[in-house]
Amino acid sequence: MNIGFIGLGIMGKPMAKNLIKAGHKLTVFDIVQENVDALKAEGAAAAASPKEVAEQNNLIITMLPNSPHVKAVILGENGVIEGAAKGATIIDMSSIAPLASQEIAKACAKKGVKMLDAPVSGGEPKAIDGTLSIMVGGDEENFNEVKGVLAAMGASVVLCGAIGAGNTTKLANQVIVALNIAAVSEAFMLSTRAGVDPIKVFHAIKGGLAGSTVMNAKIPLIIEGNFKPGFKVDLHMKDLANALETGHEVGAPLPLTAQAMEMLQYLHSHGAGQDDHCAIAKYYEALAGREIRSI
């Protein structure tokens, strides 16, 4: 199938590569030439604008940082909507505010262009392996038409509901991940301060009820003091800001999310915005005046 792909960063680049591997013909666009060149080297064609991508393809995928970028690329000057034919489909795989997905889809529908929101979880390693978890919002018939394309990038592809439901699901995911990192940081600071080796605590409790995918992935890094991203503090702040905004709009109080947001804000203000989100542990280290390390 001919597919347009816009946004070739940490996630978009390997996802686009997996579509080429699956036999699709790609036309790509990014504002960073180096990212475009990486895809050209894999056999993709380059377009000069999102409009040109849409003129050449009936299926256009976007993988951009946040709502304003997606709005600009789809609805802005030289945007996808200016080039898209009636009946074309846009799949936005960025993690953005669900209400923004709904607004963009509404504007697209006026021109007969269909849209799905399909954010992902799993990070760069799973984007490379093609084993992302993909959570989709939109029309079921439209979903069934493109499910095969999404399956080339993910191990699980689930339709969660109408447009915006994919991003609502992703926000729930991001709330759980942030609060889990904060919970394990708090608990492991307790054991460290009390003089019990955090690595022993980890091995003792990881198989019980307190065990989690987040703890398995992040505690070994925290104990090493390895905060190389991964998923950056600044991107997680963006997700929690979207979660809080959405919570306010729909009437869901998010007291713990608000606290986690302030922890991330502290890290951002202290120059750790580009660290991995497990740097939430650094916030606890600053409070307690010592690091979480093996004793």
Residues belonging to the active site:
170
Residue with tokens 């609805």: 75
Rounded to a whole number of angstroms, the minimum distance from the CB of residue 141 to ligand NAD is 26
Reply yes or no: is the peptide bond before residue 76 cis, omega within 30 of 0.
no
Residue 124 binding ligand NAD, by CB under 6 A: yes
Stretch that binds ligand NAD, among 69-77, 105-113, 209-217, 219-227 (CB under 6 A): 69-77
- Helices 255-269 & 165-193, crossing angle to 10 degrees? 70
Residue 64 binding ligand NAD, by CB under 6 A: yes
Q: What is d(CA 151, CA 132) in angstroms, rounded to the nearest whole number?
A: 9
Q: What is d(CA 112, CA 88) in angstroms, rounded to the nearest whole number?
A: 8
List the one residue out of 99, 123, 4 whose CA is nearest residue 61.
4
Site for ligand NAD in 228-247 (CB under 6 A): 231, 235
- Structure tokens that stand for 138 in this block: 């939109």
Rounded to a whole number of angstroms, the minimum distance from the CB of residue 208 to ligand NAD is 28
Stretch that binds ligand NAD, among 105-113, 119-127, 190-198, 272-280 (CB under 6 A): 119-127
Position among 56, 58, 65, 288 found at the interface with ligand NAD (CB under 6 A)? 65
Question: What is the number of helices (H) and of strands (E) in the chain?
Answer: 14, 9
Position among 4, 5, 11, 275 found at the interface with ligand NAD (CB under 6 A)? 11
Position among 56, 123, 186, 291 found at the interface with ligand NAD (CB under 6 A)? 123
Strands 89-92 and 114-117, by their bridges, are: parallel
**CB of 189 or CB of 238, closer to ligand NAD:** 238
Position among 1, 22, 45, 72 found at the interface with ligand NAD (CB under 6 A)? 72
Rounded to a whole number of angstroms, the minimum distance from the CB of residue 36 to ligand NAD is 9
Most distant CA atoms of the chain, gap in Å: 66
Rounded to a whole number of angstroms, the minimum distance from the CB of residue 290 to ligand NAD is 29
Q: What is d(CA 42, CA 18) in angstroms, rounded to the nearest whole number?
A: 10
User: What is the CA 178 to chain-centroid distance, rounded?
Assistant: 13
Stretch that binds ligand NAD, among 29-37, 156-164, 249-257, 275-283 (CB under 6 A): 29-37
- At 255 the three-state DSSP class reads helix
Stretch that binds ligand NAD, among 20-28, 64-72, 82-90, 107-115 (CB under 6 A): 64-72
Other C-beta atoms lying within 10 Å of the C-beta of residue 35: 18
- The residues of the shown chain that bind ligand NAD, judged by CB under 6 A, are 6-12, 29-32, 35, 63-65, 69, 72-73, 94-95, 120-121, 123-124, 231, 235
